[in-house]
Amino acid sequence: MPHRRLTGWRRQTVLHDHQRRLARLVHEFGGASRLFLTAFALGLLVLGLAGPLVLGALWLALTHDLPPATYARERPVFQSTQILSRDGQLLYEVVPPEGGRRQLVRLSDLPPFLLQATLAAEDPSFYQNPGVDPLAVLRALGQNLTGQAVVSGASTLTMQLSRNILFPPDLRYERSLERKLKEMIYAVRLSRHFRKDEVLEMYFNEVYYGNMAYGIGAAARWYFGKEPRDLTLAEASLLAGLPQAPSEYDPLRHLPLAKARQWYVLSRMVTLGYLTPAEAVAAYQAPLQFADQRVHKRAPHFVDYVLDLLSRRYGREALYYNGWRVRTTVDLALTEKARALAAQRIAEIRQTMNAHNAAVVVLNAPTAEILAMVGSIDYWDPSIDGQVNVAVAPRMPGSAIKVFTYAAAYEDGYLPASRVNDTFTLFDRGPGLGPYAPHNYNGAFNGPVMLREALGSSLNVPAVKVV
């Protein structure tokens, strides 16, 4: 059918229809868009109000139980009690049954290369970062997300200190986002409140080096038998590598792993400009002389005697955790000489007199100071009950009382040359009691003897007769 052309009025009618439809669509769309925009604006408003509330609630949950920064200094920190000889030599370090060793040190007493080794191993940006290292956190996060091995940790030195302060040992290595966030928050608090050197000193007194050694003071003494200030570069670089994994890098059990970690520390020191390559190689190749790891107890009977006195007077809790440095009166050289002489004498008379042990106490008479105390000839020999201190063990006075018996006799007019009969004698013990007939240790009697002979030979009959 041929297309009919629209007349003018019809064209106008159709145009009006299109305009009306368009206007209706615009009106409907405009209403919807206004509704959308209104809802969008309300959503932003809700988020704007709720966001801070959510963040505030999260912050409160993370920080409500965190102590103030001052707690790091104010909290009680145990120290080991040390028993010292009269000239300051260490006799024994008291280790709590459930604790460890710790001796507090000052940062100024530590050699510079120990500080450098520790910073190189744990936190090169320590003096620049605010307690956390954002770049290290992002790097570790990326390595975790991509499944790569984490070659550098995100925990700064200050975060490690925070971990030790905030959490008990069994929770310190728990993999928890909440724990990590708390560490970071508290690390920032510490960095804001304390100078960097103060934080570093707290770290050196707090960090765990393995083998029950808390802090560099205990670690230096346990592994190398010396004070931290006397450590060599080789020793310091080895110790600086231990806190990351004290059991894994324990040089007493896993020396190859500890040496590999030491080389990492020395290499980092070279990278940071603390050492030349030649100095690092020399330190790595230097021989390490570890201390004797057996329980150290010199003049052991005397030490036990002192520990018993302290415990009875102040209590075991104070003895374990107060960190006393107890300087005693004992002379180590004299003690060892007395022990050697006692052992020699027992060896001479063991067969003839059936003697197996001896004790010696040396006093300074004017002051009553104990200069030497030997409770047995060998503290470590169980066959003679070596750890029993015969010098102070409760026992019958026996022949020791004879000295006082004869002293009283001399006051009554007897003389050392006075004679008394050492013969079989029955002594009346009073009504209802049978007679007493003392015998000498060898079963023999000696007839008339002088009192000096009776005392020197420890004869029993003359001693009873002069009472």
| pLDDT tens readout for residues 84-99 | 999 998 898 888 766 6
Query: Using 50, 70 and 90 to split pLDDT, how confident is the model at 256?
Result: very high
CA dist list (Å): 28 to 18, 39, 42, 421? 15, 17, 21, 141
What mean pLDDT is predicted for residues 140-157? 60
Pick from 47-61, 180-194, 437-451: least confident = 47-61
Tell me the pTM.
0.62
Helical pair 233-240 and 277-285, crossing angle rounded to 10 deg: 90
The values of phi and psi at residue 133, to 5°, are -115, 95
Question: How far is the C-alpha of 139 from the C-alpha of 119, rounded, in Å?
Answer: 19
What is the pLDDT averaged over residues 207-225? 91
Residue 293: burial class (beta carbons within 10 Å; 0-12, 13-18, 19+): exposed
**Site of tokens 């000889």:** 85
Q: Which token pair is 236?
A: 């310091």
Contact 449, 422 (CB under 8 A): yes
Assigned token pair, 101: 């060793």
Active site residue 122: yes
Query: Would you call 4 exposed, middle or buried from its count of C-beta atoms within 10 A (0-12, 13-18, 19+)?
Result: exposed
End-to-end C-alpha distance for the chain, whole angstroms = 163
pLDDT digits (tens, 9 = 90+) for 59-86: 555 565 677 778 778 787 777 888 999 9
Long-range residue pairs from 128-134, CB within 8 A, at least 24 positions apart, any chain: 129/156, 129/158, 129/191, 130/188, 130/191, 130/192, 131/156, 131/158, 131/159, 131/184, 131/187, 131/188, 131/189, 131/190, 131/191, 131/192, 132/156, 132/158, 132/159, 132/184, 132/187, 132/188
- Residue pointed to by tokens 């940062």: 107
d(Cα 103, Cα 82) in Å, to the nearest integer?
9
What is the arithmetic mean of pLDDT over 109-137?
90
Catalytic residue among 399, 418, 457, 458: 399
User: Residues 325, 84: contact at Cβ < 8 Å?
Assistant: yes
79 in helix, strand or coil?
Answer: strand
Catalytic position from the list 122, 201, 206, 235? 122
Domain 100-285 matching CATH 1.10.1840.10: the answer reads no
Distance CA 322, CA 313 (A): 14
Does the pLDDT at position 114 exceed 80?
Answer: yes
- Helix (DSSP H) and strand (DSSP E) numbers for the chain: 17, 7
- Binned at pLDDT 50, 70 and 90, residue 303 comes out as very high
Q: What is the dihedral of CA 91, 96, 102, 104, to 10 degrees?
A: -90
User: Residues of 200-233 as b/e, b for ≥16 C-beta within 10 angstroms?
Assistant: bbbbbbbbbbbbebbbbbbbbbbbbeeebeebbb
348 part of the active site: no
Q: Is residue 112 predicted with pLDDT exceeding 90? A: yes
d(CA 458, CA 464): 11
pLDDT confidence tier of residue 134, bands split at 50, 70 and 90: confident
Q: What is the DSSP letter of 409?
A: H
The Cα 454–Cα 443 span in angstroms is 15
Determine the pLDDT at residue 369: 95
> What does the DSSP 8-state code read for residue 65?
T
